[in-house]
Amino acid sequence: MASWDRPALARLTGGRAAAILVDPSSVVVVAGQQPAAGGGPLYTLVKTAQAVAYARRLTATGQPAVPWFWCASEDHDLGEANHADLLRRDGSIHRVVCDLGPGRAALRWRPALAWWDKVVAGCRASASGNLGADWLLQRRPADGEGMGAWLCRVLTDLFPGDPLVSCEAHRLRPLWAEMLPDLRARWPRAALAELQTQIGQDHFGPLPEPPLFRDTPTGRLPLDDPAGVPVEEVSPGAALRPILQQLALPCTHAILGPGERAYHAAIMPVYAALGATPPRFVTRTSVTLEPAWIRRAAERLHLDVRALAAGGPLPVATTMPQPQLAELDQAISALGDGGDRRIAAAQTRLRHEAARLRASLERGERVANGLPAAGSVQAWLRPRGGPQDRTLSMFQAIWEHGPGVAQRLVEELGGEREMVVMGV
């Protein structure tokens, strides 16, 4: 879009953001994610904090900027949204699975109360701290409050000093509705098919027409022709949604995870067909939380937290030093001529028993000092062998470390870095 309806944007946002967006020179930094039980993985909060940090940087250079989180509550993938993963101290995952209700209705129609009690109970059973428990419990979902609405409310509360707009995606529909006829006429079906062949990966399936759906409380149904359908019910599919929402706003930067960057690459012809310039794609930083107990354990066990968080292996020697066994090792070696097969066999058996003794003493000392096993530290930092923020629920992160974790993230994400290990 060459211009934007800034009065409409101001009415949609209100507050400090409205005062900024009426300025014709102001821009928007967007991030987005679908809601899930507990709000979603930690990277939902990371994306939002990164958008806030980037908007602060732009504003500091004289470019008025508003951070904007659009909640993809039009999604209806219950398999991704019906659970929250909580990490126990031993590195195991407590998956809390919730019943979000039947049917194919989008997540915005499903009440947040459907998951609330189970996730709260899960945190009480598995979390290592409760610094933010009261803060979260004060934000219990209201009756009928949808999953997307609750997530937007909580994110707004986490960044009270910033002009963050947390907005469910369907509220943007009036801002992009006028683009639909032109988009349907210019839909680059041939260019999309050719690019999909070049990439060699099918993110969306065939796209002969713009993917549109009718979004109602009873279901989300394919829509061939939006003519005559109220704009409030027209919902774009995943291959179209981010583009429409970016173009509906004066968006200059978009915070994208690896998967989002991949599927944006597959739909670039749509920008060209509309004569639109895509925003600058900023790669989401991967964040690993390092609580004090992990830091202490890593120091005692001689582990490199950053290396483990980045996917590095455990060091070969992770045993705690036990100088009292040094004399035993020397005595075994001094038994006699190692060339004698009987002595060599005895030494092998004794060294095996010494290793078992060493491991037993190590376990006893570790347990006595309240330390986890090295493998547990690794599993906590890198659950399922992947980045922590893709698994750890943002609900648990806030429950354990308090709402201040959001501002800590903004401070850490001021620059563009691939990975951050953040002490909490």
Lowest mean pLDDT among 220-224, 334-338, 392-396: 334-338
Q: What percent of the chain has pLDDT over 90?
A: 62
Does residue 273 share a domain with residue 144? yes
User: Would you say residue 260 lies in a domain?
Assistant: yes
Q: Is 131 helix (H, G, I), strand (E, B) or coil?
A: coil
Digit-coded pLDDT (tens) for 287-297: 999 999 999 99
Predicted confidence at residue 366, as pLDDT, reads: 55
- Sheet architecture: strand order including 65-71: 165-168, 65-71, 27-33, 251-256, 280-283
| Element at 421 (helix H, strand E) | strand 419-423
Q: Which of 137, 412, 119, 415 is nearest to 288 (CA)?
A: 412
3-class SS at 2?
A: coil
Q: Please indicate, yes or no, if residue 36 is contained in any of the structural domains.
A: yes
- Amino acid (1-letter code) at residue 291: P
pLDDT band at 317 (very low <50, low <70, confident <90, very high): low
- In angstroms, the CA 158 to CA 401 distance is 13
β-strand pairing of 251-256 with 27-33: parallel
Kindly state whether residues 27 and 156 are assigned to the same domain.
yes
- 85 with 229, same domain? yes
User: Is residue 143 located within the same domain as residue 267?
Assistant: yes
**Which of 59-73, 247-261, 351-365 shows the lowest mean pLDDT across its residues?**
351-365
Number of H helices, E strands in the chain: 20, 12
Q: How confident is the model at residue 340 (pLDDT cuts 50, 70, 90)?
A: confident
Q: Three-state SS across 103-138?
A: CECCHHHCECHHHHHHHHHHHHHHCCCCCCHHHHHC
Total domain count, the chain? 2
Closest CA to 123 of 393, 379, 381, 383: 393
212 found inside a domain: no
Are residues 254 and 307 located together in one domain of the fold? no
130 vs 124: CA distance, rounded Å: 8
What are the φ and ψ backbone dihedral angles of 188, each rounded to 5 degrees?
-85, 65
Residue 418 DSSP code: S
**SS3 at position 222:** strand
Asked if residue 280 belongs to a domain, the reply is yes
pTM recorded for the entire structure = 0.87
In a domain, 205, yes or no: no
| Statement to judge: residues 343 and 397 lie in one domain | no
| pLDDT number for residue 348 | 82
| Same domain, yes or no: 160 and 263 | yes
**pLDDT, position 315:** 83
Instruction: Kindly provide the residue ranges of all beta strands, DSSP E only, lying in 16-142, ordered along the sequence.
Output: 27-33, 65-71, 83-87, 93-97
Same domain for 267 and 313, yes or no, is no
Question: What are 51-69's pLDDT values in tens digits?
Answer: 999 999 999 999 999 999 9
The domain that holds 72 is classified in CATH as 3.40.50
Pair of tokens at residue 63:
């470019």
Alpha carbon distances (Å) from 309 to 266, 273, 396: 30, 41, 19
Has residue 194 been placed in a domain?
A: no
Q: Which two tokens stand for residue 217?
A: 């409380």
The reply to whether 398 falls in a domain is yes
Structure tokens at 265: 């690459």
Query: Tokens in use for 274?
Result: 């509309």
Say if residue 363's pLDDT is above 80: no
The pLDDT value recorded for residue 227 is 87
| pLDDT tens for each residue of 13-26 | 888 999 999 999 99
pLDDT of residue 1: 46
336 with 243, same domain? Answer: no
User: Is residue 210 domain-resident?
Assistant: no
Mark whether 312 and 234 lie in a shared domain. no
Maximum average pLDDT range among 212-216, 272-276, 330-334: 212-216
Residues 348, 243 within the same domain: no
Structure tokens at 184: 């349907």
Q: Are residues 172 and 39 in the same domain?
A: yes
Task: Supply the range of the domain harboring residue 48.
Answer: 6-181+217-290+387-423
What average pLDDT does the chain have? Answer: 90
- Looking at residues 359-386, what average pLDDT do you find? 78
Q: How far apart are the first and last CA of the chain?
A: 42
**Phi, psi for 133 (deg, rounded to 5):** -60, -50
